[in-house]
A and B are shown apart, each in its own frame.
Chain A
Amino acid sequence: MRILPFPALLLLIMFQGCDATPEDSKPPGQTPEINQEKQLRLKLLNAKPGDVIEIATGTIAMTRSLILNESGVTIRGAGMDKTILSFKSQIAGAEGLLVNASDFTIEDIAIEDARGDALKINEGKNIIVRRVRTEWTNGPDTNNGAYGIYPVQTENTLIEDSIAIAASDAGIYVGQSRNVVVRNNRAEFNVAGIEIENTISADVYGNTAINNTGGILVFNMPDLPQPGYATRVYNNTINHNNTENFGARGTAVAGVPAGSGIVVNSNDQVEIFDNDIKDNQTANIIISSYFSVGEPISRKTADAFDPYPEAIFIYDNRFSGGGNKPDGAELEALRVAVFGDTGAFPNVLWDGIINSEKAENGILKPEFAICLGNGDAGIVNLDNGNENKNLSTDIKNHSCTLEKLPPIELGFSLSAG
């Protein structure tokens, strides 16, 4: 046996005396069997501003949410049918991907079967979601996650060329944000196809919303720091949103009747024009107060919440069909009673509940009016506040115009859409 020099011997003894076995002390990130999920997680954990995280073609099975907290990062797949993050076996986390950061771009990727929301972006500026598919692959189901693409409290947000399928709440849901463009997306088989909620200044155009319960929703909810206003919905295709409502009770969308094309609820300054709206069986457009969609009329609202839709301008849309088979016994009874067995509601259905402080002789003042400039398209005022006593299809109070809203200017440059 060769005699080791003293110091080397000492070192050897010391290492052998160490309690941490080599297996125990294996440093993180160096295990050979490190899987794709962990590799991706580490990339997000270690991301620095300016990084582009590319994810190759393939399906990665995820067991828990991904979270990105670093601003200035781009996540890029190889295509929304090629790079798939599958959360079918998710064990932990309320989202598929959660982003708490600004200057964020995600493109060319799919997020499937998240237990909760698929893609949530909570507080951030300059957000681009492009060619992203969020989908629950089993189709409409109450047990699906709530939202597909879900930016909340963001500023300067672009969602384009994306696809959202089978969310149990809204496919694309923009909440409490400011300066938003949602364009050229497809939303299908969600409860709400596209929902703009408590958001200030949004342009929603070029989208296709079909086979949802409600196609495009512009809502305000109580108890939130920011009431929304100023949304333009134009040049969209909103057809056949007749899927039975599969939202969980208690949610805002649970009260949306199947067969709703566009729904404006409690929101102000909404401009709806140049859309193709077809075959939505409750009504092609619904304008309602917080008291009508969803919960009973007796529901208490929060202080300082404005539950009335005001300054709504509908013009130059192309309507066809719809209003012939409304969801719910009460609406159906009204349809038959007023329009006959084979009749249909007019294209615009309004609950008629108004804020008396903004009315004169029971009619909304011009600046708060519901204006319809859409050829021979009609409107029905259900007079929901008085048990439909003065239900009316008189268009006189709606033959008006409102000042048009300016286009959204995002704080970053947009390539041609």
Chain B
Amino acid sequence: MKHLSGKTAIAVLLIGLCLVAACIPKKASQTVQPFSTDSSPLLLSQWGVVQRHANKLRLGEAVLPFDLNTPLFTDYAHKLRTVWMPEGRSAQYSPGETFEFPRGTILSKTFYYPRMAPGAQNSETPSPSTPLLLATDNYANDFSGHELNLAQVYLVETRLLVLQKDGWQALAYIWNESQSDANLEIAGDIKTLELQFADGKVSNFHYVIPTRNECASCHASDHTSGELLPIGPKTRHLDKKYAHYKAGAADQLSSWQSMSYLKGAPTQITTRANALWNASSRDNLAHRARSYLDINCAHCHNPQGSADTSGLFLHMAESTPRRLGTCKPPVAAGRGSGNHEFAIVPGKAKESILTFRMQTVDPGEMMPELGRSTYHSEGLELISDWINTLEGDCV
């Protein structure tokens, strides 16, 4: 580089500034940057949706966090979900289905764990290896204000669903060891993590980051069309308070509407909200159990799903006991039957295939087929309690 004209120098300067923006923003807020299907950036930070800033995970401008009543179990990972839409665009309300989102929508889900030894690590001296992670239902310590506190949590991956002109695109970004950014990985990964359970026991497990095609295994909830769809953003999952907005706790659906992210919602929501599955819930046992099955199973076990081959339907709208599994023999479960005869034997959780498949961690037997290497003992307890209250006889 000998001599640069003034124009070139300015151009180089501008490019340099752009590069800086793509690495680490020095300004207080970051702007979300859309990309088309074939130009997915290699670094998560380039999207500007969620990004490390000092010891926090900062949300981009107009990026709205949300959570679900009963969420999908993923090896006890905690999840930070966000939605962003291009300015002036809104999703169309639906009482029962996934909202109809405008093109350009970006949904993100960051999978992370509360970690041991809070305060022992900071951004200047990042841990050289993965810390001991905690299996807990408690989200209270994850946040510092409205942002994730990276002294308290360990980031594993951030998945994006981006509504492109040809449909939803699924992208998984894996956080690097220093937790500074996450790298695009379409072929998935398997990480060995160390988890301390509620009873104090510590064990290693395989955290499986999905391949792009595995994303479709859940998100193509209409298996015939094969089209990807978000699963969470439905009225029954979102109808709740969110605790960690900048301004504190507030109703989610109202917040979506005041951001103009949702239009067409009735003044009075008549769709029954799913229950909070856990013990703190005020909902009755049956509704909690059905809510749990709805979010954990129904992306496949619905009449259009990939598991319609089984004749077992676990979506919220299903009401026929036999289709829900009561006294229903397996079709192609193989040894996933666990030597049991029926999906649900009323009153007998331990003789039901459903509970067997929730508890086993053998990939050839377990349900869901993807997304866990451990089992959810609290979820299993919920479903068992529910089955044990059911009445009837299969023979």
A: residues with CB less than 8 A from B are: 4-8, 10-11, 14-15, 17-21, 24-29, 38, 41-42, 44-45, 63-65, 67-69, 90-94, 98, 100, 114-117, 122-123, 142-147, 150, 152-153, 168-169, 173, 175-176, 221-225, 248-252, 295-296, 298-300, 302-303
Number of interchain pairs (Cβ within 8 Å):
225
Choose among A27, A225, A248 the residue that contacts B337 (Cβ–Cβ < 8 A): A248
Q: Is B198 an interface residue (CB 8 A)?
A: no
| Separation of A295 and B342 alpha carbons in the complex (Å) | 11
| Separation of A246 and B172 alpha carbons in the complex (Å) | 40
CB pairs A–B below 8 angstroms (25 shown): A14-B16, A14-B23, A17-B23, A18-B19, A19-B23, A19-B181, A25-B43, A27-B42, A28-B183, A45-B186, A67-B213, A92-B206, A92-B208, A92-B363, A94-B370, A116-B336, A116-B363, A173-B332, A221-B329, A221-B331, A223-B331, A225-B311, A250-B329, A299-B329, A303-B322
* Contact (Cβ within 8 A) B213 A115: no
Question: Which residue of the partner chain B has the closest CB to A146?
Answer: B334
Question: Which residue of the partner chain A has the closest CB to B13?
Answer: A7
> 0/1 per residue, B353-395, Cβ < 8 Å to A?
1000000001111100110010000000000000000000011
* Contact (Cβ within 8 A) A223 B311: yes
Question: Which residue of the partner chain B has the closest CB to A19?
Answer: B180
Contacts of A94 in B (CB 8 A): 363-364, 366, 369-370
* Contact (Cβ within 8 A) B309 A7: no
Q: Is B147 an interface residue (CB 8 A)?
A: no
Question: Which residue of the partner chain B has the closest CB to A6?
Answer: B9
**With A14-B16, A100-B220, A224-B311 known to touch, is A169 a contact of B341 (CB < 8 Å)?**
no
Choose among B3, B187, B214, B341 the residue that contacts A250 (Cβ–Cβ < 8 A): B341
Q: Is B250 an interface residue (CB 8 A)?
A: no
Question: Which residue of the partner chain B has the closest CB to A47?
Answer: B213
Contacts of A15 in B (CB 8 A): 19
* Contact (Cβ within 8 A) B211 A41: yes
* Contact (Cβ within 8 A) A143 B335: yes
A161 vs chain B, min Cβ distance (A): 24
Choose among B206, B224, B322, B339 the residue that contacts A223 (Cβ–Cβ < 8 A): B322
Q: Is B216 an interface residue (CB 8 A)?
A: yes
Q: A interface, by DSSP: helix, strand, loop or mixed?
A: loop
Choose among B3, B8, B24, B208 the residue that contacts A19 (Cβ–Cβ < 8 A): B24
B183 vs chain A, min Cβ distance (A): 7
Question: Which residue of the partner chain B has the closest CB to A223?
Answer: B311
Contacts of A222 in B (CB 8 A): 311, 329
- The residue in A14, A42, A296 that gathers the most chain B C-beta atoms within 10 A of its C-beta is A14
* Contact (Cβ within 8 A) A21 B213: no
Cβ < 8 Å to A, chain B residues 171-209: 176-178, 180-181, 183-188, 190, 206, 208
Contacts of B366 in A (CB 8 A): 94
**With A19-B52, A147-B334, A250-B340 known to touch, is A64 a contact of B329 (CB < 8 Å)?**
no
Choose among B184, B223, B342, B365 the residue that contacts A100 (Cβ–Cβ < 8 A): B223
Q: Is B137 an interface residue (CB 8 A)?
A: no
* Contact (Cβ within 8 A) A25 B337: no
